[in-house]
Structure 1
């Protein structure tokens, strides 16, 4: 009787469980590849993140997403039709330094979509097949990539957990970095992969300070909302680039809550400031723009050190077949949630 010869499944390690990493890992998994995903944070999603407070949730990173690519539409319809809702946002305004509307949204502006009850539910849903396969390692930071000590053609990852515990995960045919550009570059240099690291040198990602404000008194009878009648706006104020009334999004708690995202230049200038100082300066700017001068019941700030892509890589992904190392992320082509999805998907399709 002839013996059956089965080709062993290719083993892939994906570093980063943001939208790019999840799209890449899920695509490889569906193609029959063995995948392990390593995420430094305690939950998946990257900048598609939500902060939970006693007054309701705040989408601290991505405020919404667009759906331009048919493949993104198909993925959302197949995996999360119950989680996605359109957010009207009162047709986003553009404001001057004093909060005056200087430009209304163009009539053909892309629709704004959000996940319910908060943005982090979308990456959580996409991570479920990986978790079910015990293929998602949360709270696990990859510190170094090296050739496998036993099988030099393969890779091993050196990792550190939230409690400082260190492990080595070995036997990978491929390693995919789906983390922000500077993190990827640092990891590649530490791992003595300078040729790939050099390709990322020109990518520029700006930090972003995010302010969260809650006004529970505005939910009392007779006082439904504070300040302007619009729910979202882009601003030319030197400190503030974006404002959104979180409570206006579908499926959100009714307590009046605002998210304020600082401009890239201001965030970069104040990247090393303490949160208290940032809260004071951004709250003042928020009052100047919206006219809301009431004292918030909650005022918190969070910093994203790599938030908005100012200069992208200029191509959807990088892949070195001889090394078996690839890179993907929104920073390859832009800064949208959809850009991250497209980058991760196309890299997986290229190597699957």
Structure 2
């Protein structure tokens, strides 16, 4: 078997799943990630009062392949008692309770990004994960016929060229993939991405350390998670209810897609004020939080998926994967990365 050297851009669920599958098949894989760690939207932000899963809040397990893979991460994934999730009207009144079929919610512990980090650890130990490295352009390799080299911006704003790749896989949002392909003179490969649409999301993080004082367990409602029909807020979750988390009362509040799109360019201060007001209206929690943070996801949730589980050009040696191919679930990202890796192995 000829050993290939494959570059994967993006270290979220899809990218790491693809990378680990190709590595297990005997190929060399190098991951490029613009952020400071692995996880993508399976993200966790730390604070002095505990952590916040400010990206994906949970995942479901429906595909047998995903179930088997989860089994390899013993102790990392645990069920979260959010099965009593409510659907609330704008005033916080319960419209519905429970989930169809009693489907379980799962989380990685002690942080949501720990599942991706667990699967990516062998690649990190190989020395083949380059963090804070943003790939700006793909170019034909000067020495390897039919190969690729990558021009990247590294930490501190420096420029570096990484060469010697047989294939390149883009495990990033479609808008970012399209920009990179067009900058590389490969605009024709971006054409299938034009109909894919991903909505933005503003996320608010709140901590109330007074809620762990003696005699006071929680503030406000006694449920752990809720979907909301309030025009500003789509989802709320009590982070301290998740297994393996810190006890201090913490909430993650995710704004609705239409409201986030309307206010996508607002300042963080303006967003914080508006979401705090809506949170108080829904939950009745009017205490001043000791910690407030906000994060904007420009590409948060797939509104219009691609359809196929991946894109692969054997001729160019370039592929694309992500949850956006199939939907918006963590499981969709896993399936996309896995099936692209299998296509690379079968069709090369």
Cα pair 1:50 1:57 within 8 Å, conserved: yes
Distance (whole Å) between structure 1 residues aligned to residue 100 and residue 333 of structure 2: 26
Q: 1:251 aligns with which of 244, 247, 251?
A: 244
SS at match of 1:21: helix
Structure 1 position 99 matched with structure 2 position 88: no
What's the Cα RMSD here?
1.0
Alignment match, 2:264: 271
Q: Distance in 1 between matches of 2:94 and 2:83?
A: 13
Q: Residue 51 of structure 1 aligns to a residue in which SS? A: coil
| 1:216-275 Cα distance to aligned partner (Å, 9 max, x none) | 111111111111111100010000000000000011111010000000111111111111
Q: What corresponds to 2:13 in structure 1?
A: 19
Kept in 2: contact 1:212–1:260 (CA 8 A): yes
Alpha-carbon offset, residue 194 of structure 1: 1.4
What is the rounded CA distance, in whole Å, between the counterparts of 2:2 and 2:253 in structure 1?
50
TM-score w.r.t. the length of structure 1 is 0.96
Residue in 2 that maps onto 1:299 = 292
Give the C-alpha shift of residue 297 in structure 1.
0.6
Contact 1:156 1:169 in 2 (8 A): yes
Structure 1 residues 111, 247: closer, same or farther in 2, change over 3 A? same
**Unaligned 5+ residue runs, structure 1?**
1-6
Deviates more, 1:239-248 or 1:217-226: 217-226
Q: Supply the distance in 1 between the matched residues of 2:57 and 2:155 (Cα, whole angstroms).
A: 28
- Deviation readout 1:297-326 (Å, 9 max, x if unpaired): 111101111000000001100001111100
**Contact preservation (8 Å) 2:83, 2:98:** no
2:156 aligns with: 163
Q: Give SS of 2:118's match.
A: helix
Q: CA deviation at 1:8?
A: 3.9
In the TM superposition, what whole-angstrom CA distance separates every residue of 1:165-200 from its partner, at most 9, and x where no partner exists? 211111111110000110001101111111111110
How many residue pairs are counted as aligned between the two chains? 345
1 CA distance for matches of 2:260 and 2:100?
31
Instruction: Note the C-alpha offset of 1:90.
Output: 4.9
Which residue, 332, 335, 343 being the options, matches 1:339? 332
What residue in structure 2 maps to residue 46 of structure 1?
40
Tell me by how many angstroms 1:155 deviates: 0.6
Give the Cα–Cα distance (whole angstroms) in 2 for the partners of residues 196 and 312 of structure 1. Answer: 17
Matched, 1:130 2:99: no
**TM-score in terms of structure 2 length:** 0.97
CA distance in 1, matches of 2:102, 2:292: 31
| Stretches of structure 2 lacking an aligned partner (at least 5 in a row) | none
Name the SS for the 1:310 alignment partner: strand
User: How much does 1:11 deviate?
Assistant: 1.3
What secondary structure sits across from 1:189 in the alignment?
helix
Structure 1 residue 280 corresponds to structure 2 residue 273: yes
Structure 2 equivalent of residue 37 of structure 1: 31
Structure 2 Cα separation of the partners of residues 33 and 194 of structure 1: 28
Deviation at 1:107, TM superposition (A): 4.3
**Superposed, which structure 2 residues align to 1:184-223 within 5 Å?**
184-223=177-216
Cα distance in 1 for partners of 2:65, 2:221 equals 37
Q: Which residue of 2 aligns with 1:87?
A: 80
Which residue is 1:3 aligned to? Answer: none
Distance change >3 Å, CA 112–CA 282, structure 1 → 2? same
Describe the superposition over 1:88-125 as per-residue Cα deviations: whole angstroms up to 9, x where unpaired. 11511111111111111234142100011111111111
Task: Indicate yes or no: 2:140 matched with 1:120.
Answer: no
Q: Which residue, out of 174, 194, 219, partners 1:226?
A: 219
Alignment match of 1:325 (pick from 310, 314, 318): 318
Structure 1 CA distance for aligned equivalents of residues 150 and 106 of structure 2: 36
Look up the match of 1:70.
Answer: 64
Q: Identify which of 3, 14, 22 aligns with 1:28.
A: 22
